[in-house]
Homo-oligomer: A and B are copies of this chain.
Amino acid sequence: MKPVTLKEIAEKLDISITTVSKALKDYKDVSPKTKALVKELATTLNYRPNAFAVNLRTKESKTIGLIIPEVVHHFFSSVIKGILNQAEKKGYLVIILQSNESYELEKKQIELLLNKNVDGVLISLANETADFKHINKFLSNDKPLVMFDKIAKLVNCSKVIIDDRKAAYTATKHLIETGCKNIAHFRGPLLPQNSIDRFLGYKKALEDYNLKYDPSLVFICENTSFEDGSKFAAEIVKNHPNVDGIFINTDMVAIGAITQLRSLGIDVPNQISVVGFSNWFMSSAITPSLTTINQPGYEMGKESFKRLYKELNAIKKKKPLSTKTITLETSLVKRNSTKNN
Protein backbone atom coordinates (compact mmCIF):
# COMPACT_ATOMS: atom_id res chain seq x y z
CA MET A 1 0.00 0.00 0.00
CA LYS A 2 1.60 3.26 -1.07
CA PRO A 3 1.11 6.10 1.40
CA VAL A 4 -1.47 8.75 0.51
CA THR A 5 -0.15 12.28 -0.05
CA LEU A 6 -1.67 15.74 -0.07
CA LYS A 7 -1.22 15.77 -3.82
CA GLU A 8 -3.40 12.73 -4.23
CA ILE A 9 -6.21 14.24 -2.19
CA ALA A 10 -5.89 17.49 -4.11
CA GLU A 11 -6.17 15.74 -7.45
CA LYS A 12 -9.17 13.67 -6.44
CA LEU A 13 -10.96 16.77 -5.21
CA ASP A 14 -9.65 18.92 -8.03
CA ILE A 15 -8.35 21.63 -5.71
CA SER A 16 -4.84 22.78 -4.86
CA ILE A 17 -2.40 21.13 -2.51
CA THR A 18 -2.26 24.36 -0.56
CA THR A 19 -5.95 24.25 0.19
CA VAL A 20 -5.82 20.62 1.23
CA SER A 21 -2.96 21.32 3.58
CA LYS A 22 -4.76 24.29 5.09
CA ALA A 23 -8.07 22.48 5.37
CA LEU A 24 -6.49 19.66 7.32
CA LYS A 25 -4.87 22.12 9.66
CA ASP A 26 -8.10 24.02 10.17
CA TYR A 27 -6.85 27.33 8.80
CA LYS A 28 -9.67 29.82 9.11
CA ASP A 29 -9.36 31.01 5.53
CA VAL A 30 -10.78 27.81 4.10
CA SER A 31 -14.52 27.43 3.59
CA PRO A 32 -16.27 24.99 5.91
CA LYS A 33 -17.53 23.11 2.90
CA THR A 34 -14.04 22.51 1.49
CA LYS A 35 -12.76 21.58 4.91
CA ALA A 36 -15.45 18.97 5.34
CA LEU A 37 -14.77 17.52 1.92
CA VAL A 38 -11.05 17.32 2.46
CA LYS A 39 -11.28 15.88 5.92
CA GLU A 40 -13.71 13.24 4.83
CA LEU A 41 -11.55 12.08 1.98
CA ALA A 42 -8.46 12.15 4.14
CA THR A 43 -10.13 9.86 6.62
CA THR A 44 -11.40 7.55 3.91
CA LEU A 45 -8.00 7.25 2.33
CA ASN A 46 -6.40 6.91 5.73
CA TYR A 47 -4.17 9.91 5.09
CA ARG A 48 -1.17 10.27 7.36
CA PRO A 49 1.13 13.28 6.95
CA ASN A 50 4.63 12.23 5.98
CA ALA A 51 6.59 12.85 9.15
CA PHE A 52 9.87 13.23 7.28
CA ALA A 53 8.51 16.08 5.16
CA VAL A 54 6.94 17.77 8.17
CA ASN A 55 10.18 17.50 10.11
CA LEU A 56 12.13 19.03 7.24
CA ARG A 57 9.74 21.95 7.00
CA THR A 58 9.19 22.64 10.66
CA LYS A 59 12.74 21.77 11.69
CA GLU A 60 11.55 19.76 14.64
CA SER A 61 10.67 16.13 15.12
CA LYS A 62 8.98 16.07 18.51
CA THR A 63 11.55 13.50 19.47
CA ILE A 64 14.09 13.64 22.24
CA GLY A 65 17.08 11.48 23.07
CA LEU A 66 17.64 9.74 26.38
CA ILE A 67 21.04 8.40 27.41
CA ILE A 68 21.08 6.08 30.41
CA PRO A 69 24.16 4.37 31.85
CA GLU A 70 22.39 1.08 32.44
CA VAL A 71 18.85 0.05 31.58
CA VAL A 72 18.72 -3.07 33.74
CA HIS A 73 18.58 -1.18 36.99
CA HIS A 74 15.54 -0.54 39.09
CA PHE A 75 16.21 3.11 39.77
CA PHE A 76 16.89 3.95 36.15
CA SER A 77 13.94 2.02 34.84
CA SER A 78 11.74 4.03 37.20
CA VAL A 79 13.27 7.19 35.77
CA ILE A 80 12.59 5.96 32.24
CA LYS A 81 9.00 5.26 33.16
CA GLY A 82 8.59 8.77 34.53
CA ILE A 83 10.07 10.26 31.38
CA LEU A 84 7.92 8.15 29.07
CA ASN A 85 4.71 8.98 30.87
CA GLN A 86 5.40 12.67 30.71
CA ALA A 87 6.62 12.61 27.11
CA GLU A 88 3.48 10.77 26.10
CA LYS A 89 1.35 13.52 27.57
CA LYS A 90 3.17 16.21 25.65
CA GLY A 91 3.28 14.32 22.37
CA TYR A 92 7.00 13.60 22.37
CA LEU A 93 8.71 10.40 21.41
CA VAL A 94 11.84 9.15 23.17
CA ILE A 95 14.88 7.55 21.57
CA ILE A 96 16.67 5.51 24.20
CA LEU A 97 20.39 4.78 24.28
CA GLN A 98 22.46 2.94 26.86
CA SER A 99 25.97 4.16 27.50
CA ASN A 100 27.00 1.10 29.49
CA GLU A 101 28.85 3.45 31.83
CA SER A 102 31.31 4.05 29.00
CA TYR A 103 32.56 7.53 28.16
CA GLU A 104 33.42 6.57 24.59
CA LEU A 105 29.98 5.17 23.93
CA GLU A 106 28.31 8.16 25.55
CA LYS A 107 30.28 10.48 23.30
CA LYS A 108 29.33 8.50 20.24
CA GLN A 109 25.69 8.50 21.26
CA ILE A 110 25.60 12.26 21.71
CA GLU A 111 26.97 12.43 18.18
CA LEU A 112 24.26 10.06 16.94
CA LEU A 113 21.56 12.19 18.52
CA LEU A 114 23.04 15.30 17.03
CA ASN A 115 23.01 13.64 13.62
CA LYS A 116 19.48 12.47 14.20
CA ASN A 117 18.49 16.04 14.89
CA VAL A 118 16.53 15.33 18.05
CA ASP A 119 14.87 18.34 19.64
CA GLY A 120 16.59 17.85 22.97
CA VAL A 121 18.40 15.39 25.22
CA LEU A 122 18.01 13.92 28.68
CA ILE A 123 21.13 12.33 30.10
CA SER A 124 22.54 10.68 33.17
CA LEU A 125 26.32 10.51 32.82
CA ALA A 126 28.42 7.37 32.67
CA ASN A 127 30.64 6.70 35.67
CA GLU A 128 33.69 7.05 33.45
CA THR A 129 32.80 10.47 32.12
CA ALA A 130 35.21 13.12 33.34
CA ASP A 131 35.37 15.32 30.26
CA PHE A 132 32.33 17.24 29.04
CA LYS A 133 33.25 18.53 25.60
CA HIS A 134 30.69 16.30 23.96
CA ILE A 135 27.96 17.72 26.15
CA ASN A 136 29.00 21.29 25.48
CA LYS A 137 29.13 20.52 21.78
CA PHE A 138 25.52 19.39 21.92
CA LEU A 139 24.53 22.49 23.85
CA SER A 140 26.28 24.74 21.32
CA ASN A 141 23.65 23.74 18.76
CA ASP A 142 21.06 25.72 20.69
CA LYS A 143 19.27 22.58 21.72
CA PRO A 144 18.32 21.95 25.31
CA LEU A 145 19.88 19.21 27.38
CA VAL A 146 18.89 18.29 30.92
CA MET A 147 21.03 16.13 33.19
CA PHE A 148 19.60 13.98 35.93
CA ASP A 149 20.97 11.96 38.80
CA LYS A 150 24.53 11.62 37.56
CA ILE A 151 25.39 15.15 36.58
CA ALA A 152 28.43 17.32 36.00
CA LYS A 153 28.49 20.41 38.16
CA LEU A 154 30.68 22.22 35.67
CA VAL A 155 28.32 22.02 32.72
CA ASN A 156 25.95 24.90 32.25
CA CYS A 157 22.60 23.18 31.74
CA SER A 158 19.54 22.36 33.80
CA LYS A 159 19.81 19.49 36.24
CA VAL A 160 17.45 17.36 38.26
CA ILE A 161 19.04 15.82 41.30
CA ILE A 162 18.63 14.92 44.90
CA ASP A 163 20.79 16.31 47.67
CA ASP A 164 23.02 13.26 47.95
CA ARG A 165 25.20 14.79 50.59
CA LYS A 166 22.30 15.67 52.82
CA ALA A 167 20.65 12.29 52.31
CA ALA A 168 23.88 10.47 53.15
CA TYR A 169 24.29 12.69 56.20
CA THR A 170 20.80 11.75 57.37
CA ALA A 171 21.49 8.06 56.82
CA THR A 172 24.76 8.15 58.75
CA LYS A 173 23.27 10.27 61.50
CA HIS A 174 20.55 7.67 61.93
CA LEU A 175 23.22 5.00 62.48
CA ILE A 176 24.94 7.23 65.02
CA GLU A 177 21.73 8.04 66.84
CA THR A 178 20.86 4.38 67.13
CA GLY A 179 24.14 3.74 68.88
CA CYS A 180 26.69 2.86 66.23
CA LYS A 181 30.26 3.98 66.99
CA ASN A 182 32.34 2.45 64.20
CA ILE A 183 30.64 3.09 60.94
CA ALA A 184 31.93 1.81 57.62
CA HIS A 185 30.90 3.06 54.19
CA PHE A 186 30.56 1.10 50.97
CA ARG A 187 30.79 3.83 48.37
CA GLY A 188 30.32 3.98 44.61
CA PRO A 189 33.07 4.53 42.03
CA LEU A 190 35.37 7.54 42.31
CA LEU A 191 34.13 9.79 39.53
CA PRO A 192 30.36 10.19 39.70
CA GLN A 193 29.33 13.25 41.61
CA ASN A 194 26.66 11.41 43.54
CA SER A 195 28.99 8.82 44.98
CA ILE A 196 31.37 11.62 45.95
CA ASP A 197 28.55 13.51 47.63
CA ARG A 198 27.27 10.49 49.50
CA PHE A 199 30.76 9.87 50.76
CA LEU A 200 31.10 13.50 51.87
CA GLY A 201 27.76 13.38 53.67
CA TYR A 202 28.90 10.28 55.51
CA LYS A 203 32.18 11.90 56.49
CA LYS A 204 30.53 15.11 57.62
CA ALA A 205 28.13 13.25 59.89
CA LEU A 206 31.01 11.43 61.56
CA GLU A 207 32.80 14.72 62.14
CA ASP A 208 29.74 16.52 63.47
CA TYR A 209 29.17 13.74 65.98
CA ASN A 210 32.82 13.45 66.96
CA LEU A 211 33.41 10.01 65.55
CA LYS A 212 36.78 9.32 64.04
CA TYR A 213 36.84 9.08 60.25
CA ASP A 214 38.80 5.98 59.28
CA PRO A 215 39.69 5.71 55.56
CA SER A 216 40.27 1.99 55.88
CA LEU A 217 36.55 1.60 56.56
CA VAL A 218 35.61 3.04 53.17
CA PHE A 219 35.23 0.45 50.40
CA ILE A 220 34.78 1.25 46.74
CA CYS A 221 32.13 -0.74 44.90
CA GLU A 222 33.15 -0.61 41.27
CA ASN A 223 30.03 -2.34 40.03
CA THR A 224 27.63 -1.38 42.81
CA SER A 225 26.48 -4.99 42.70
CA PHE A 226 25.13 -7.60 45.07
CA GLU A 227 28.56 -9.26 44.90
CA ASP A 228 30.36 -6.08 45.93
CA GLY A 229 28.21 -5.95 49.06
CA SER A 230 28.76 -9.57 49.80
CA LYS A 231 32.52 -9.32 49.35
CA PHE A 232 33.07 -6.25 51.49
CA ALA A 233 30.73 -7.47 54.22
CA ALA A 234 32.91 -10.57 54.51
CA GLU A 235 35.98 -8.37 54.66
CA ILE A 236 34.46 -6.25 57.43
CA VAL A 237 33.69 -9.30 59.51
CA LYS A 238 37.15 -10.71 58.99
CA ASN A 239 39.32 -7.62 59.38
CA HIS A 240 37.27 -5.01 61.19
CA PRO A 241 35.43 -6.77 64.01
CA ASN A 242 34.68 -3.50 65.78
CA VAL A 243 32.45 -2.16 62.99
CA ASP A 244 28.85 -1.90 64.19
CA GLY A 245 27.24 0.01 61.34
CA ILE A 246 27.53 0.36 57.57
CA PHE A 247 26.15 3.06 55.34
CA ILE A 248 25.91 1.63 51.83
CA ASN A 249 25.74 3.53 48.57
CA THR A 250 22.96 1.45 46.98
CA ASP A 251 20.26 -0.97 48.13
CA MET A 252 21.46 -3.70 45.82
CA VAL A 253 24.87 -3.63 47.48
CA ALA A 254 23.26 -3.41 50.91
CA ILE A 255 21.18 -6.50 50.23
CA GLY A 256 24.31 -8.35 49.19
CA ALA A 257 25.94 -7.24 52.41
CA ILE A 258 23.03 -8.24 54.64
CA THR A 259 22.77 -11.64 52.98
CA GLN A 260 26.47 -12.22 53.61
CA LEU A 261 26.36 -10.94 57.18
CA ARG A 262 23.50 -13.24 58.06
CA SER A 263 25.16 -16.24 56.50
CA LEU A 264 28.22 -15.47 58.64
CA GLY A 265 25.99 -15.55 61.70
CA ILE A 266 26.02 -11.80 62.34
CA ASP A 267 22.90 -10.33 63.90
CA VAL A 268 21.60 -7.45 61.81
CA PRO A 269 20.91 -4.87 63.23
CA ASN A 270 22.16 -5.73 66.74
CA GLN A 271 25.74 -6.56 65.89
CA ILE A 272 25.94 -4.59 62.69
CA SER A 273 23.31 -2.11 61.50
CA VAL A 274 22.92 -1.35 57.82
CA VAL A 275 21.45 1.59 55.91
CA GLY A 276 21.06 1.46 52.14
CA PHE A 277 20.24 4.01 49.51
CA SER A 278 17.45 4.16 46.88
CA ASN A 279 14.50 2.35 48.48
CA TRP A 280 14.35 -0.35 45.89
CA PHE A 281 11.17 -2.37 46.39
CA MET A 282 13.15 -5.48 47.31
CA SER A 283 14.51 -3.67 50.33
CA SER A 284 11.20 -4.06 52.12
CA ALA A 285 10.96 -7.71 51.09
CA ILE A 286 14.22 -9.06 52.48
CA THR A 287 14.82 -10.17 56.05
CA PRO A 288 15.57 -8.05 57.93
CA SER A 289 13.93 -5.34 55.86
CA LEU A 290 16.36 -2.61 54.92
CA THR A 291 16.47 0.90 56.36
CA THR A 292 17.22 3.14 53.41
CA ILE A 293 16.97 6.53 51.74
CA ASN A 294 14.02 6.93 49.44
CA GLN A 295 15.23 8.19 46.08
CA PRO A 296 12.33 9.27 43.87
CA GLY A 297 13.19 7.78 40.46
CA TYR A 298 9.83 8.09 38.78
CA GLU A 299 9.51 11.68 39.91
CA MET A 300 13.03 12.45 38.75
CA GLY A 301 12.15 11.22 35.27
CA LYS A 302 8.98 13.26 35.30
CA GLU A 303 10.66 16.46 36.42
CA SER A 304 13.51 16.02 33.97
CA PHE A 305 11.17 15.78 31.04
CA LYS A 306 9.07 18.67 32.30
CA ARG A 307 12.10 20.88 32.50
CA LEU A 308 13.30 19.86 29.05
CA TYR A 309 9.83 20.56 27.70
CA LYS A 310 9.88 24.05 29.14
CA GLU A 311 13.23 24.76 27.54
CA LEU A 312 12.09 23.29 24.25
CA ASN A 313 9.18 25.72 24.18
CA ALA A 314 11.26 28.65 25.32
CA ILE A 315 13.68 28.10 22.47
CA LYS A 316 10.83 27.81 20.00
CA LYS A 317 9.52 31.16 21.15
CA LYS A 318 13.04 32.59 21.12
CA LYS A 319 12.63 33.51 24.75
CA PRO A 320 15.86 32.71 26.51
CA LEU A 321 15.60 30.64 29.65
CA SER A 322 18.35 30.42 32.21
CA THR A 323 19.35 26.98 33.43
CA LYS A 324 17.94 25.66 36.64
CA THR A 325 18.85 22.97 39.12
CA ILE A 326 15.90 21.15 40.63
CA THR A 327 16.52 19.26 43.84
CA LEU A 328 14.01 16.58 44.76
CA GLU A 329 13.27 15.59 48.33
CA THR A 330 14.56 12.36 49.81
CA SER A 331 13.58 10.74 53.07
CA LEU A 332 14.87 8.17 55.50
CA VAL A 333 12.78 4.99 55.53
CA LYS A 334 13.32 3.25 58.85
CA ARG A 335 13.03 -0.53 58.77
CA ASN A 336 14.59 -3.45 60.59
CA SER A 337 18.23 -3.35 59.53
CA THR A 338 18.83 -0.58 62.07
CA LYS A 339 17.93 -0.40 65.75
CA ASN A 340 15.05 1.66 67.10
CA ASN A 341 16.03 4.83 68.82
Could you tell me which A residues sit within 8 Å of B by CB distance? 1, 3, 48-53, 55-56, 59, 61, 63, 71-74, 77-78, 80-81, 84-85, 88, 93-98, 112, 114-117, 140-142, 226, 255-256, 259, 262, 281-282, 285-287
Chain A to chain B contacts (Cβ below 8 Å), 30 pairs: A1-B140, A3-B141, A49-B115, A51-B116, A52-B52, A52-B55, A52-B56, A52-B61, A52-B117, A55-B55, A56-B56, A71-B77, A71-B80, A72-B74, A72-B78, A72-B80, A73-B77, A77-B77, A81-B98, A85-B98, A88-B97, A93-B95, A93-B97, A94-B95, A94-B96, A95-B95, A256-B285, A259-B287, A262-B287, A287-B287
Task: For the complex, give the distance between the alpha carbons of A96 and B286 in Å.
Answer: 32
Q: Which residues does chain B contribute within 8 Å of A80, judged by CB atoms? A: 71-72, 96
Contact between chains at B77 and A72 (CB < 8 Å)? yes
Q: Which residue of B lies closest to A105 (CB)?
A: B88
Contact between chains at B71 and A226 (CB < 8 Å)? no
Least Cβ–Cβ distance between A172 and chain B, in angstroms: 25
Contact between chains at A84 and B56 (CB < 8 Å)? no
Task: For the complex, give the distance between the alpha carbons of A214 and B52 in Å.
Answer: 57
Q: Which residues does chain B contribute within 8 Å of A116, judged by CB atoms? A: 51, 63, 93
List the 10 shortest-distance A-B pairs measured between CB atoms, nearest first: A52-B55, A52-B56, A72-B77, A51-B117, A96-B96, A71-B81, A84-B98, A93-B95, A71-B77, A71-B80
Report the copy number of this chain in the oligomer: 2
Q: Which residues does chain B contribute within 8 Å of A81, judged by CB atoms? A: 71-72, 98
Contact between chains at B48 and A114 (CB < 8 Å)? yes
Contact between chains at A63 and B95 (CB < 8 Å)? yes
Least Cβ–Cβ distance between A272 and chain B, in angstroms: 17
Task: For the complex, give the distance between the alpha carbons of A112 and B84 in Å.
Answer: 14
Known contacts A52-B117, A55-B56; 7 additional CB pairs below 8 A are: A48-B114, A63-B116, A77-B77, A88-B97, A94-B95, A94-B96, A262-B287
Least Cβ–Cβ distance between A48 and chain B, in angstroms: 6
Task: For the complex, give the distance between the alpha carbons of A239 and B1 in Å.
Answer: 58
Q: Which residues does chain B contribute within 8 Å of A226, judged by CB atoms? A: 281, 285
Task: For the complex, give the distance between the alpha carbons of A285 and B233 in Å.
Answer: 15
Q: Which residues does chain B contribute within 8 Å of A287, judged by CB atoms? A: 259, 262, 287
Task: For the complex, give the distance between the alpha carbons of A77 and B281 in Å.
Answer: 16
Least Cβ–Cβ distance between A165 and chain B, in angstroms: 27
Q: Which residues does chain B contribute within 8 Å of A114, judged by CB atoms? A: 48
